[in-house]
Amino acid sequence: MNKTKKAIFNAGIAVFSKSGYNGATVDDIALEAGVAKGTLYYHFKSKEDIFNFIIQEGLNMLENELQIIEDENLDPIETLNRICKLQLTLLYNDKDFFKVIISQLWGQELRQSELRNKLFLYIHEIEKVMQSAMDKGLLVTGNISLMAYTFFGSLISAAVYEVSNMEKMNLDEVIDNVTNIALNGILKKNTNSEV
C-alpha cells in the first residue's frame, strides 16, 4: 500500500469510527488524511469504495496473521490460544477498525452483506481449527459453526469489557481469561446443575 493510500486507510478508519458510515463524508476523510479531495478521488471512486478498501485491507492483515499461526502446525488448542491472542492484540491495538466492523455488521446494504461474507471467511478458518480439535476429542461435539462464531464473539466482547473498565488492562491476563472462558465455559466443574 503506497503512502497516500495508507493515509486514506488510516483516515477512513478514524472518520468511520467517529462518525459512522452515514455520518462520514469524503471531505472529512480527505481532511483527516491530509490529501486533496481530487487525490482521494484519484484512488477511490466513492465513500463506499473507501469503506470496502478499509475492510478488505484490515481483514487481509488479520487473515495473514492467522495464516502464519496455521503454518506453524501447532496442536488445535494451542492454535486457538494463538488466534485468541492475535485477535485480542489486533483488537486492542486497532480499536477503531473493529468499531467500524461491528457497527456495520447489521443491515441490508450491499456493503454490510459483503462485510459479513468477508468476516465469514475469517470465522471459517476458526471453524477448521475447532473441527480439528473436535476430531481429536479435545472439544465437545456440537455445532461447529455456532462454536466458532461464539468464540469470535467472546473475543470481541473483551473489547467492550476493556472500554467499560477504562483502566489499563494487562493484555496477557485478559487473553488468558478470555481463552479460558471461551474454551472451558463458565460452569463450575463437577456441578449437578443442568442448563
SS3 state at 126: helix
- Taking residues 29-55, report their average pLDDT: 94
Superfamily for 51-184?
Tetracycline Repressor, domain 2 (1.10.357.10)
pLDDT band for 168, please (50, 70, 90 cuts).
Answer: low
Residue span(s) of the chain under CATH 1.10.357.10 come to 51-184
Question: Residue 147: which residues within 8 A CB-CB, separation 6 or more?
Answer: 127, 130, 139
How far is 28 from 4, CA to CA, in rounded Å? 15
Per-residue pLDDT at 20: 92
**Extended beta strands in the chain, E state:** none
Residue span(s) of the chain under CATH 1.10.10.60 come to 1-44
SS3 state at 137: coil
pLDDT digit string, tens, across residues 104-160: 888 898 888 988 988 898 899 899 999 999 999 988 899 999 999 988 888 777 766
Q: Is the pLDDT of residue 50 over 90?
A: yes
Per-residue pLDDT at 173: 80
SS3 state at 165: helix
Nearest residue to 92 (alpha-carbon basis) of 177, 175, 8:
175
Angle among Cα 110, 57, 87 to the nearest 5 degrees reads 100
CATH number of 1-44: 1.10.10.60
